[in-house]
Amino acid sequence: MKNNHFDTELDEVIRASMELTDEPAPELNSKLKATLYQQEAAIHKSSAIRSLSLWYLPMVLNLVTFVMMAVVVLKVIGNVYLSYFAAGICIYIGLAGILLTIVGVKRTNIKEDITIRVRRRGVLA
């Protein structure tokens, strides 16, 4: 035997709420879509990630290192011709590093490969 004692008024209210088929007006729907598209465009316009390219860093470090080595060579080596020759080689290697960096930027994707990406504060991704 089943127990069929239940609140019929509550049951009718539940059934009535399940049968609601109200649809929003087309104007409201189009306004909502327009607002969403504007918000999406604003989010894409202000990127959540800030990128900093460091393509020049190896070139600068190479140049500074070999210029410092040239100065040390000029101070340490007593023979004038040998010190100028060694310093010239150091300067030449520093300039070759600049040339290699320029070729690397032109021929490869070095600007994208040597990039640091940092998330901005307060921007949702």
Q: How far apart are CA 113 and CA 52, in angstroms?
A: 11
Per-residue confidence (pLDDT) for residue 94, from 0 to 100: 94
What is the per-residue pLDDT across 90-115, written as a single tens digit (0 to 9) for each? 999 999 999 998 888 888 877 777 88
Per-residue confidence (pLDDT) for residue 4, from 0 to 100: 58
What is the per-residue pLDDT across 50-79, written as a single tens digit (0 to 9) for each? 778 888 888 999 999 999 999 999 999 999
CB 53 within 8 A of CB 114: yes
Per-residue confidence (pLDDT) for residue 92, from 0 to 100: 96
Find, among 31, 30, 96, 85, the residue nearest to 62 by Cα.
96
Per-residue confidence (pLDDT) for residue 7, from 0 to 100: 66
The tokens of 104 are what? Answer: 């690397």
